[in-house]
Amino acid sequence: MEDQKIVELFFERSEQAIEESAKKYGALCRSISQNILHDPSEVEECLNDTYFKAWNAIPPAKPNHLGAYLAKIARNLSLNRLEHNNAEKRGAGAFEVALDEIENVVASAELEAFGEEDLSGLINRFLAGEKKEHRQMFLRRYFYFDTPAEIAKRFSMPENRAAVILYRMRVRLREFLRKEGVSI
Amino acid sequence: MKAEKIIRAIGSVDDRYLLEAAETPSKKASWKIAVMAAACFVLIGGICLGVFALPGVFSEKSAPMTDAVSAAPPMDGEAFFEAGNVYDNETNGVEDTEQIPMPTEGAQAPTQNERIDQNSSVPAASLSELSATEKGEDGISSEAGASAASDVPPGESIATLEKIEKIGETTWHLSLINQGNEQPFELEVETELFAMPPEQLEEGTSLVIIHGEGYEPVQILYAGVAYYGE
């Protein structure tokens, strides 16, 4: 079913909107949540929360890209749940490794002056200046939390090459943030 | 934690980028497959070209010579050849018999003709023309006596030139002595059958007279060139 049609179902307050959303974007949201939480029961709860939040937000929200909208909700909810959980439960999954990778980039950065919106705008501009394939790889890694092996398979390249591309992108991100006034 | 702040910020990037990343097809794999398929196609095409097309070129090149061999009319030297003076490995006493391939059937002609092509300054086309002018509609020599001698396979003979004179605009009369049995014989041949300028031929020169079926000469070469590639 087309995204527009599903959004119309949300507006009509039809529960079929949830079914169609789960059918079309359930796997995407599940993979993001799974990469962050690693716990199937928590992932299921997170997915239910995602549809519930979308149900409450639409209307008035009218997303142009329902998939991206649901993915962002699932991701944020998963991150919130992870934060809420005990730190000891953290493993060495794709999310944790990705977090460490980003930590290495901004460890010495002064980010207090920047709000999430500001940083998001900077990252948007950074991504706009990257090649399409690199941009896709970056988001597969730091939005969807795919492992380098999964990214390499997706882009038909050796894992080592994918890792090198991501490393160089992090270096460029660091330089970009420095040029944009972030004290690093 | 600073990294979490960045990770959160990445969660708010433009939807277009997120969809772009979510819908990434594995284009590279199909691109690789396409390149490999194209490479295989070119390879197979090259092999087919090598196997079928190039032999075809050679066979086309040698075909007119085969025609010339089978269709050229008998000439003055026919009687000489019929008398048993056709070059033969066993009777003519040539020492290095292995270097002289003896044609046995019509199928041997292309091999011989290939050697003629390599050594001769006479283009195959001129021999083809000769064949075309003298061949009957059925592709068999229309000259009398040709059928009688047509059982004789193509061959070659080594002879010493005794005398050469021009008797027509493109016709030459040759007095020769067969080196196998020392018997003299004479030939009248067209200029185009010579692999060398006939004006430059001197008495005592050893020549190879290559004849087709029915003894008709189809090529005259220097003996050294014919056998030793000198």
User: A8 with A64, same domain?
Assistant: yes
What value does the mean pLDDT take over residues A94-119? 79
**Are B7 and A100 inside 8 Å of each other by CB?**
no
**Are B18 and A98 inside 8 Å of each other by CB?**
no
User: A66 with A9, same domain?
Assistant: yes
User: A152 with A134, same domain?
Assistant: yes
Q: How far is B14 from chain A (nearest CA, A)?
A: 7
Asked whether residue A114 is assigned to any structural domain, the reply reads yes
Interface membership of B148 toward A (CB under 8 Å): no
pLDDT band at A138 (very low <50, low <70, confident <90, very high): very high
Q: Which of A63, A89, A115 is the endpoint of a domain?
A: A89
User: A32 with A77, same domain?
Assistant: yes
Sheet with B184-190, side-by-side order of all strands: B184-190, B171-178, B155-166, B206-211, B217-222
Q: How far is the CA of A119 from the CAs of A42, A47, A58, A104, A142, in angstroms?
A: 29, 27, 26, 17, 14
Among residues A21, A24, A27, A31, which one has the least CA distance to residue A144?
A31
**Are B5 and A119 inside 8 Å of each other by CB?**
yes
Q: Which of A54, A89, A124 is the endpoint of a domain?
A: A89
Q: Which residues of A touch B24 (CB under 8 A)?
A: 136, 140, 154-155
pLDDT at B151: 52
The domain spans of chain B are 55-228
User: A43 with A111, same domain?
Assistant: no
Q: How far is B62 from chain A (nearest CA, A)?
A: 53
Each of the 230 residues of chain B gets a pLDDT tens digit; together they read 778 888 888 888 888 888 888 876 555 556 677 888 899 889 998 888 888 776 666 555 554 444 444 444 545 555 555 555 555 444 444 444 444 444 444 444 444 444 444 444 444 434 444 443 344 334 333 343 334 344 555 677 888 888 888 888 888 888 888 888 888 888 888 888 888 888 888 888 888 888 777 677 888 888 765 444 44
**Are B32 and A109 inside 8 Å of each other by CB?**
no
Q: Domain residues for A103?
A: 94-179
User: A130 with A170, same domain?
Assistant: yes
Residues A27-55, buried b or exposed e (16+ Cβ, 10 A)? ebbbbbbbbbbbbeebbebbbebbbeebe
Asked whether residue A130 is assigned to any structural domain, the reply reads yes
Q: How far is A169 from chain B (nearest CA, A)?
A: 14
Is residue A102 predicted with pLDDT exceeding 70? Answer: yes
Of B82 and A144, which is predicted with more confidence? Answer: A144
**Are B10 and A142 inside 8 Å of each other by CB?**
yes
Interface membership of B200 toward A (CB under 8 Å): no
Structure tokens at A94: 């794709």
Interface membership of B25 toward A (CB under 8 Å): no
Find the closest chain B residue to A110 by CA distance. Answer: B2
User: A120 with A79, same domain?
Assistant: no
**Are B21 and A144 inside 8 Å of each other by CB?**
yes
**Are B29 and A136 inside 8 Å of each other by CB?**
no
User: A66 with A7, same domain?
Assistant: yes
User: A85 with A100, same domain?
Assistant: no
Give B5-47 pLDDT, tens digit per residue.
888 888 888 888 888 888 765 555 566 778 888 998 899 988 8
Q: How far is the CA of A97 from the CAs of A43, A102, A148, B4, B70, in angstroms?
A: 19, 9, 10, 12, 86
pLDDT at B121: 42
User: A71 with A24, same domain?
Assistant: yes
User: A51 with A129, same domain?
Assistant: no
User: A67 with A127, same domain?
Assistant: no
Q: How far is the CA of B141 from the CAs of B70, B110, B171, B177, in angstroms?
A: 7, 19, 20, 27
Interface membership of B54 toward A (CB under 8 Å): no
CATH number, domain containing residue A65: 1.10.1740.10
Asked whether residue A184 is assigned to any structural domain, the reply reads no
Structure tokens at A174: 């660091």
Structure tokens at A42: 């928590």
Among B2, B20, B21, select the one facing A111 at the smallest CB separation.
B2
CATH number, domain containing residue A146: 1.10.10
Q: Which residues of A touch B5 (CB under 8 A)?
A: 106, 111, 114, 116, 119
Number of domains in chain A: 2
End-to-end Cα, chain A, rounded Å: 47
Q: Which residues of A touch B12 (CB under 8 A)?
A: 72, 116-117, 120
Note if the bond before A59 is cis, omega within 30 degrees: yes
Distance (Å, whole) CA B87 – CA B208 = 10
Handedness of CA B188, B190, B194, B197 (dihedral sign): positive
Q: How far is B44 from chain A (nearest CA, A)?
A: 27
Q: Which of A56, A89, A122 is the endpoint of a domain?
A: A89
On whether the CB atoms of residues B174 and B203 are closer than 8 A, the answer is no
Q: How far is B43 from chain A (nearest CA, A)?
A: 25
- Select B55-228's CATH number: 2.60.120.200, 3.40.640.10, 3.30.70.260, 2.40.50.100: 2.40.50.100
Q: Which residues of A touch B6 (CB under 8 A)?
A: 102, 105-106, 111, 119, 123
Asked whether residue A26 is assigned to any structural domain, the reply reads yes
